[in-house]
Amino acid sequence: MMHSMTGYGEAEGRIGGLDYMVEIRGVNNRYLRTEIRLPDPLTFLEEDIEKLLRQHLFRGTVNYVLRIKGVAANVLLDIDEAALRQLVERLDRVRSSAQVQGALGIDLAALVDLPGVLRPAEPSEEEVQKIKAGVLALSQRAMERLRDMRAAEGRFLDADLQGHCGAIAGDLQQIEARRDVVMQEYAQRLRKRVDELLAEVKLKLDEETLAREVAILAERSDISEELARLQSHLHQFEQARHLEGEQVGRRLDFISQEMFREANTIASKASDIEIARRIVDVKCRIDRIKEQVQNVE
């Protein structure tokens, strides 16, 4: 099944008396790039969360956020009492040396906000295991919701790509049918034009010369190989749409580029208005396909 790279999943739960919330967002990227944001005391979870994301996702920029709801940040922090004591003692010495008159009040709350006074709380090993199990379970639930959303959008992408491929196949059939007629029409126009020019001098067109001119044009404007390759790429694209695994998006991206290359060559060789018109339609659809496969995982 085709998956989009865009999606969102979240999950909430209570762990150790605190309410946790996990959010995972995915957007387009050629490769897999993860951005993980955790509260300072829980940074020990980063490696496990990174592993979980890479087990389930293959492409895209993935933003993972873990929040603890309804709890002040300082609940997760410890006060470094030794550092705070040193600050108070230094302030006392400054007051004495400066011979400040009167009592000098020290605002401990303000001192706590200074760098180095607060530090992340260090949970016990038992608490670490409990938090890890709970957060990973929440992350798994959020991941499943993200995958569901990406799968739903992937179905729309697949239907859109299928429609474009069907239209391209129809245009290629018309171009192939038109290809043989073009040479016949060119030979007739060439014969008529040359006969008109030679009628004035009462000369007759040599059939061998006419055949040679038609052959030269046929060689210059032959698109049979390009049509065959483009039809082959289209068939490969249809097969790749149903593949499972991490290479689907990259494979579709590569095939669509090759399709566009062949369409460009056909456009440069086209000597017929009808073929030129249809190949423009083909290129427009391939361009749309190239845009859409950028969203495929």
Query: What residue has token string 């790749």?
Result: 240
Answer whether residue 1 is part of any domain.
no
Does residue 50 lie within any of the structural domains?
A: yes
142: left (phi over 0), alpha (psi -120 to 50) or beta: alpha
DSSP 31: S
If you search the block for the tokens 């496969």, which residue do you land on? Answer: 293
pLDDT at 46: 95
Residues 49 and 105 in one domain: no
Does 143 lie in the same domain as 45?
Answer: yes
Write down the pLDDT at residue 73.
46
Task: Give just the sign of the alpha carbon dihedral 246, 250, 255, 259.
Answer: positive
Position 177 scores a pLDDT of: 83
282 and 215 assigned to the same domain: yes
Q: Distance between CA atoms of 286 and 289, rounded to whole angstroms?
A: 5
Same domain? For 31 and 12 the reply is yes
Write down the pLDDT at residue 154.
Answer: 92
Q: Are residues 157 and 226 in the same domain?
A: yes
Do 33 and 93 lie in one domain? The reply is no
pLDDT at residue number 84: 63
Task: Tell me the Ramachandran region of residue 102: left when phi exceeds 0, alpha when psi lies from -120 to 50, beta otherwise.
Answer: left
138 and 180, same domain (yes or no):
no
Domain CATH number, residue 13: 3.30.230
Q: Is residue 13 in a domain?
A: yes
Question: Per the domain annotation, does 251 fall within a domain?
Answer: yes
Q: Which domain holds residue 52?
A: 7-74+124-151
Whether residue 282 sits in one domain with residue 182: yes
Residues 46 and 141 in one domain: yes
Q: What is the mean pLDDT of each run of 10 residues along the chain (297 residues)?
A: 91 89 94 92 92 92 90 54 68 65 57 58 78 95 95 93 95 85 64 60 59 60 83 93 78 94 88 86 95 91
- What is the domain count for the chain? 3
- Through-space distance between the first and last CA atoms of the chain, rounded to whole angstroms: 10
Please report, for residues 22, 43, 250, the alpha-carbon distance to residue 58 in angstroms, rounded to integers and kept in the order given: 20, 24, 10
> Looking at residue 152, what is its pLDDT?
94
Q: Is 100 helix (H, G, I), strand (E, B) or coil?
A: coil
Look at residues 135, 151, 167 and tell me which one is the last residue of a structural domain.
151
Q: How many CB atoms lie within 10 A of CB 171?
A: 19
CA distances from 143 to 7, 26, 35, 117 (A): 10, 10, 15, 37
Q: Are residues 136 and 200 in the same domain?
A: no
Q: Are 252 and 145 in contact (CB under 8 A)?
A: no
pLDDT at position 90: 72
48 within a domain of the structure (yes/no):
yes
Three-class SS of residue 243? coil
Tell me what percent of the chain is helix, strand and coil, each rounded to the nearest 5: 65, 15, 20
Q: Write the DSSP assignment of 233-256 as a string of letters.
A: HHHHHHHHTT--STTHHHHHHHHH
Q: Which two tokens stand for residue 28?
A: 């387009």
- Predicted TM-score (pTM) of the model is 0.69
d(CA 114, CA 95): 19
